[in-house]
């Protein structure tokens, strides 16, 4: 679920006045131009990431400099090194947040129950919407070669896990009769490809909302493999309602142990070994 990382509380919530100087306009940096500081460390860390991911997407990882990132935050480059070991770690962390968001999607979807097709569509909707936002885009726009060796491995592992989710839902669907017989591998590739591509073309200021794209894609991408012809209104077809079994736990993620097949995956993503353990809390303030 949207854990703490959704800390969008404005930095103008200054209860006891004092430094009530509102930054000239925007809602970004917690660093007022070199004066009153003192805001939670994690909050600053996230501000760095927000700025970095936006800049990386805007100018490319190599086109964006740390000086520019710092400048947008009203600080200087070395200050960034209080929160990150280097540029590539910033890149990785951006990616990691996106990956956690995806993990949450998968967890929710798996917990939600329903037929294979139902789950597939739910995942598509959520995943697609992620791809319209910065952290989601980072999953598909950043180059794996720019990561450290270790992080690259993590990313590749996560790729496989996400691909696995798509394939599993499809396989489930074939079994429960909601999905036509097909090759789960290729079908997953096709679907993931369409979704990932959103991260390349979607523009927030366009005429389409992320939500609209997501819902359209949920139908479009499953039209070909859905066993029952999809009528407009019936998103919940699945005549063979498999007794909504596992509504059980809410948003807790099953460890989802990834086996190790040496196959290609339709994804790129990962997470740290740390949070690979379980919760996708964004509370790790590791460093140094």
Partner DNA sequence: CCCGTATATTACCCATGGGTAAGAAATAGT
Partner DNA sequence: ACTATTTCTTACCCATGGGTAATATACGGG
Site for its own copies, rule CB under 8 A: 59-60, 62-63, 143-146, 182-183, 186-187, 189-198, 200-203, 206-209, 212-213, 215-217, 219-225, 230-232, 248-255, 257, 260, 263-266, 268
What is the token pair recorded at 14? 């200054």
Which one of the spans 72-80, 133-141, 237-245, 268-276 is the region binding DNA (CB under 7 A)?
72-80
Q: Which among its own copies, DNA, none contacts residue 92 (Cβ within 5 to 8 A by kind)?
A: none
Minimum Å gap between C-beta 90 and DNA is 8
Residues in contact with DNA, counted by CB under 7 A, come to a total of 34
What is the token pair recorded at 117? 């097709």
Q: Which among its own copies, DNA, none contacts residue 208 (Cβ within 5 to 8 A by kind)?
A: its own copies
Task: Give the footprint of DNA on residues 154-213 (CB under 7 A).
Answer: none
Q: Which among its own copies, DNA, none contacts residue 201 (Cβ within 5 to 8 A by kind)?
A: its own copies
Closer residue to its own copies (CB): 200 or 241: 200
Distance CA 162, CA 185 (A): 12
Closer residue to its own copies (CB): 35 or 207: 207
Closer residue to its own copies (CB): 19 or 264: 264
Cβ burial of 61 (10 Å; 0-12, 13-18, 19+) is buried
Closer residue to DNA (CB): 79 or 182: 79
The verdict on 87 binding DNA (CB under 7 A) reads yes
What is the token pair recorded at 201? 């073309």
Closer residue to DNA (CB): 1 or 212: 1
Minimum Å gap between C-beta 146 and its own copies is 7
- Choosing from 52, 54, 75, 102, the residue that interacts with DNA (CB under 7 A) is 75
Distance CA 108, CA 2 (A): 11
The verdict on 19 binding DNA (CB under 7 A) reads yes
Residues that bind DNA (CB under 7 A): 2-4, 6-7, 10-11, 19, 31, 34-38, 41, 44, 64-67, 70, 74-79, 81-83, 85-88
């Amino acid at each position: 679920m949207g854990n703490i990382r959704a800390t969008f509380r404005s930095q103008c919530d200054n209860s006891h006045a004092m430094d009530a100087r509102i930054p000239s306009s925007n809602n970004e940096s917690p660093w007022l131009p070199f004066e009153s500081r003192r805001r939670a460390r994690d909050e600053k860390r996230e501000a760095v990431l927000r700025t970095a991911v936006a800049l990386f997407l805007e100018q490319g990882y190599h086109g964006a400099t740390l000086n520019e990132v710092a400048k947008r935050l009203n600080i200087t480059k070395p200050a960034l090194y209080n929160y990150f070991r280097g540029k590539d770690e910033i890149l990785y962390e951006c990616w990691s947040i996106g990956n956690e968001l995806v993990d949450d999607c998968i967890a929710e979807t798996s917990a939600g129950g329903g037929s294979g097709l139902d789950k597939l569509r739910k995942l598509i909707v959520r995943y697609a919407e992620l791809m319209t936002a910065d952290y989601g885009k980072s999953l598909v726009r950043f180059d794996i070669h720019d990561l450290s060796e270790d992080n690259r491995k993590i990313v590749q592992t996560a790729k496989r896990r996400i691909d696995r989710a798509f394939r599993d839902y499809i396989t489930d669907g074939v079994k429960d009769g909601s999905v036509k017989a097909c090759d789960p591998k290729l079908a997953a590739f096709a679907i993931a490809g369409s979704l990932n591509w959103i991260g390349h073309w979607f523009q927030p200021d366009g005429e389409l909302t992320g939500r609209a794209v997501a819902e359209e894609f949920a139908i479009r991408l499953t039209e070909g493999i859905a066993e029952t012809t999809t009528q407009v209104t019936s998103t919940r077809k699945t005549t063979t309602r498999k007794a909504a079994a596992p509504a059980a736990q809410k948003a807790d993620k099953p460890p989802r142990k990834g086996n190790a097949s040496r196959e290609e995956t339709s994804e790129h993503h990962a997470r740290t070994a740390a949070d690979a353990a379980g919760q996708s809390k964004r509370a790790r303030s590791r460093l140094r």
